Amino acid sequence: MAFAFNCSEEDRNESLSKVNDLPWEGDVNSIPNALRLKNPVADPKAKKGGKIRIYSHQFPKSLNYYLDQFTTTARIFTSLYEPLTGYHPLTLETIPHLARDWKISPDKKKFTFYLDPNARWSDGKSVTADDVIFTYDTIMNPKNGTAVFRVSLSRFLKPVKLDDLTVVFEAKEVHWNNFNDVASSIFILPKHHFEGKDFNKENMEFPVVSGPYKITEVKKNRYIKLERRGDWWQRAYPFNEGRNNFDQIVYKVYNEEAVALQAFKKGDIDIYPVYSAFVWVEEAKGDAFDKNWIAKQRIFNLKPIGFQGWAMNSRRSIFSDKRVREAMNLLVDRKLMIDKLAYGEYDPTNSYYPDFYLGGEKNPNQPTEFSIEKARKLLAEAGWKPNKEGILEKDGKPFQFSILDRDKKTEKYFTVFLEKAKEVGIRASIDTLDLAAWSERVDKYDFDMTWAAWGSGVFKDPESQWLSKYANEEGQPNLPGLKISEVDKLIEKQKTEFSVSARNEIIKQIDRIVYKEYPYVLLWHLPSTRLLYWQKYGVPNLPLGKYGDESFSSDYWWYDEEKDKKLSEALSKKEKFTDYEAVVRWK
């Protein structure tokens, strides 16, 4: 690589060897029709080679996505293993992946998948129906820490093998998401590798894979290296031209954002998604930005937007009363926090599905305005009265709780809240843990209040988030432990609605009901992606595609050797580099 500011540990004594693609000896006519077409979001100018170094804010406790749904884990695991089907990047239509074709029965309960005969594991063995069934069995085994995935797969009978390349899933009942749950949401595991092992201990080494990358090195708390597979079974499929371009992907771990940012500015990280308004406004400036050595880009597309907020654990008596939860919302001055602490970068969130309302549709949920007096009144109605020291009490017990946090930089927001809470007689403390310890406690619902952020999907399924029966099953997303019979009925109703627009109307009803129960102190959201990157890469016209986030970069960007040389020259001469679009919008 021509450009390097600094020699970091993972670069030391290493020269990046070129990955050579092996000749593909398959029958062109065996390639599924949909994958014979060009990929509309890939750039035909893309070249294979080079590497990209990506920032991870924590070292994953596991690289097994079935055991740990951390973002870095997900990105790595889905580079190693593959689903039966995928989605077209523009139309969202189902396209082949491990399965070349499929059939859905008239009653929408039976799904037959025909595996691609070209599909191979990295050790040369064929991907078979036995692997699909083994993956199902592994997820459904109650001894395995796969509870999140059991929610959807519990709707199915055990799959049946018709022959080595044909497998049938049959749902117990009709559900609009049944097909997606088995076709695109589970990543198939090699039976011959995992069988007989304790799956809960399969965390860091995955020598047998089917995807376009393999793990070559893991250094705990430092980095994880992936290398492109020159023998990937789909390497010659036209749809993959312009994808999976980097010979090496390195996930570099920095537990402190400030340290990571300095590493990025020195050239030890290549791409840096910005989640902090302070970093975007105050830190992403200087010569490297003024001279365009680093691109500072705000990208708007149609990616789904989730929500973030402070989950209140209603399993605990202190937050079991809706009036108390509403009072906590009233004690949060969102406008102050956004304007003074977040540079006005965000929009306040008044929905658990905020992307429903980005196109101009009116949000019926009324914003919760900051009001100490209203909060005090609600707390009194709930039985919390001040004692002679001014501390709220109920049945002789003081109103005090702990906030479980996982990031020091978010403490400033909690501090503003705690100052207001103190005014009404509430005492609370902040307990900040590392990601692994935080996850362990949250999975067991061992918290009073905690900051949680949830992603969203293009197709929204509210079941695991809000259905009552999952409120007390460990490891589920229903962190507040909400149980609302009316919501349960609406969740049941949307299961058999195959019209996306009609289903979304039901989900909006769920949203209105849940919103008024105040399970979270909802905070704010960002309708764009903020990205910093060194200008040594080729980037498609739509840098993150139609629905993508920053992970799109490792899938579709490429190392541009000529651009890198010119950047190196600009650096040495302290000259301005190539202009770029600071704001990119989906058209």
> What per-residue confidence (pLDDT) applies to 2?
34
In sequence order, the β-bridge partners of residue 161 are 167
Indicate whether 1 pLDDT > 50.
Answer: no
Mean pLDDT over 495-505 rounds to 93
Summarised one tens digit per residue, pLDDT across range 398-417 is 999 999 999 888 899 999 99
What confidence tens digit (pLDDT) does each residue in 531-585 have? 999 999 999 999 999 999 999 999 999 999 999 999 999 999 999 999 999 999 9
Query: pTM of the full predicted structure?
Result: 0.84
Residue 482 pLDDT > 80, yes or no?
Answer: yes
Q: Is 28-228 CATH 3.40.50.2300?
A: no
Model confidence at 12, in pLDDT bands (50, 70, 90)? very low
pLDDT in tens, 107-139: 999 999 999 999 999 999 999 999 999 999 999
Residue 275 to residue 453: CA distance in whole angstroms? 12
The answer to whether residues 63 and 77 touch, using CB atoms and an 8 Å cutoff, is yes
Left, alpha or beta for 133 (phi > 0: left; psi -120 to 50: alpha)?
Answer: alpha
CA distance linking residue 408 with residue 142, whole number of Å: 35
Share of the chain above pLDDT 90, in %: 89
**Amino acid 71: pLDDT:** 92
> Quick one: pLDDT band at residue 7, thresholds 50, 70, 90?
very low
Tell me which fold the domain 307-525 belongs to: Dipeptide-binding Protein; domain 3 (3.10.105)
- Taking 60 as the threshold, does the pLDDT of residue 501 lie above it? yes
pLDDT at position 351 over 50 = yes
pLDDT band at 15 (very low <50, low <70, confident <90, very high): low
Domain residue limits, the chain? 28-228, 265-300+529-585, 307-525
- Looking at residue 4, its pLDDT comes to 39
Instruction: Give the chain's mean pLDDT.
Output: 94
